[in-house]
A and B are shown apart, each in its own frame.
Chain A
Amino acid sequence: MSNAIAVAGVGMHPWGKWGRPFVEYGVHAARTALADSGIAWRDVDFVVGGETVRNGYAGYVAGSTFASALGWNGARIATSYAACATGAQALDTARARILAGLSEIALVVGADTTPKGFLAPNAGERWTDPDWLRFRLLGMTNPAYFALYARRRMDLYGATSEDFAQVKVKNARHGLENPYARYRKEVAVADVLGSAIVSDPLHLLDICATSDGAAAVVLTSLDYARRHGLGGAAGPVRVEAVSTVTPTFPNTVIDMPLLSTDHAAGGAPERTFKESLALAAYEEAGIGPDDVDVAEVYDLSTALELDWIEDLGLCKRGEAEVLLRAGDTTIGGRIPVNPSGGLACFGEAVPAQALAQVCELTWQLRGQATGRQVEGARVGITANQGLFGHGSSVLLAR
């Protein structure tokens, strides 16, 4: 019994920095996805919004906000929040109702307007909130966490600053032709190494920016897709698995925004949290890393992309630099990673980002990723991680 559902349509608003209301971006993405699916808004029976926490009440009830902006159509609504994994959790919520037979056509939308600079906690004094305390007591920013992981790659596996820079160079090249990317410019290794160090060893150009943007996905049951001939002869792109598992105690890799790991009295567990995210997706789909043709991973930093390649089982631990240096992760290589250009070219728009990964893989599997197509891609996987034990991995196939 397959747990697959159909991706009927995808749409995005370009990523950028305009400071316009997030609703405008979201409605644009939603209408684009609906047009792509050929399904009318009035036929959508479930709307899930990805919550944005920086845009007031309208952001807290994003599902309702988007449904209202599109014009009330009587659909059921939900809103999801799972930090950076918000979009995937929203997708999973839609999938659950479709698989249960409670809904047939779902629209999932994530959109954000983000402030400049470091993502910082909301105002006020909160002495029991770890996200507030890490800034107050330690001055521990998000890039500082990314830098801890990057430094470990250097000291344990011999990664170099040039390796990290090469990830940026590759992703910048991938994103050149992507009409939705915010940064579409070639970057040289020297540019990365010449940019200011934010948190040693990471330079400004190793770290992704924050952006405005929106992505939307229209999902249907496979039965609906079949009856309406969605996707033509080859059929639609299918969501084969959505993993949103939590870490398993003891989590021995320090996670944003925490000040400490769990207590591992009996040593480290078999798998890290990020490894378990991918494994749950593989197991749910009955698909293995060897079947994967393309991956969209959360390159909050250049070094983190290398971590993800290993977490997804695309190579052994400590060998991602070997793939990178051989050009295996470049379009045309053995296993292209971030053909969209990744966060390096987009910047992060939190509630939209995991959905943007799904949009990109849908275009890749349909053969519609003009200028960045991974030829013959049949199976794609996403990976992403957020704060507070959130993360996701989505497997798509056609």
Chain B
Amino acid sequence: MTAARDMTAIPVIEGWFTTGEEPRLVASRCTACGTLVFPPPPPEAASFCRNPVCDGEQHEPAELSRAGRVWSYTDAQYQPPAPYVPTTDPFEPFALAAVELPEGLVVLGQVADGYGVRDLAVGAEVELVVESLYEDETGERTIWRWKPVVELGEEADQ
């Protein structure tokens, strides 16, 4: 485990999101019509445009907006079955949100550590963060998550 911790955190899946200070989801964009698809197909895979009136087959990576509005939300109060990888024993519930991005996609994600359904509402603003999902033999694996954006007025109330 010590060896694993010395390794850098790497995304649990390659090419779906950027890391760093301002992480973003990476969609694929059809070079013919601009239709975005998330998650993006693997780079080596053929990509047939989802838009039925477009026969585009070329695509390029396209970073999506960091901030969006909650379309809906829920949580998992029981441990999901495999291939979910539990990281605590006993299981600790986590929240999930479907977030509408300005580009016109709704993307699912877990909600950032420390936030639950009480911190969410349909229409509320959230932004993308990258956090640890689990550790495997290669080290810490990270995932994108949605973090509620606390309004200034609410901050003053706390």
Contact = CB atoms under 8 A, between A and B. Distances in A.
Contact of B84 (A135, A258, A263, A266): A135
A198 B45 CA distance: 37
Size band of the A side of the interface?
35 or more
Given A120-B81, A254-B108, A259 B122 contact: no
B7 interface: no
B98 A254 contact: yes
A314 to B, nearest CB: 23
Q: Is the interface of A mostly helix, strand, loop or mixed?
A: loop
Contacts of B42: 128
B77 A249 contact: no
Nearest to A197: B77
Interface in B99-147: 103-110, 117, 121-123, 133, 143
A140 B80 contact: yes
A43 interface: no
Nearest to B37: A263
A141 B76 contact: yes
Given A152-B122, A261-B106, A147 B133 contact: no
Given A196-B77, A261-B105, A136 B96 contact: no
A265 B35 contact: yes
Contacts of A198: 77-78
A199 B39 CA distance: 24
Given A137-B133, A259-B107, A264-B105, A148 B82 contact: no
B106 A252 contact: yes
Interface string A244-260: 00000110101000111
Contact of A264 (B52, B75, B104): B104
A117 interface: yes
B80 A156 contact: no
A128 B121 CA distance: 32
Given A127-B13, A148-B98, A263-B35, A135 B80 contact: yes
B83 A199 contact: no
B59 to A, nearest CB: 12
A260 B107 contact: yes
B80 A263 contact: no
A152 B104 contact: no
A254 B105 CA distance: 9
B18 interface: no
Nearest to B94: A139
Given A151-B122, A152-B71, A259-B108, 7 more contacts: A136-B12, A137-B133, A138-B96, A141-B80, A259-B107, A260-B37, A267-B104
28 contacts: A117-B81, A118-B78, A121-B83, A132-B83, A133-B39, A134-B108, A135-B81, A136-B85, A138-B143, A139-B80, A144-B75, A148-B72, A148-B74, A149-B72, A150-B74, A151-B122, A155-B72, A155-B122, A197-B77, A201-B74, A252-B106, A260-B105, A260-B106, A260-B107, A260-B108, A262-B50, A263-B37, A264-B105
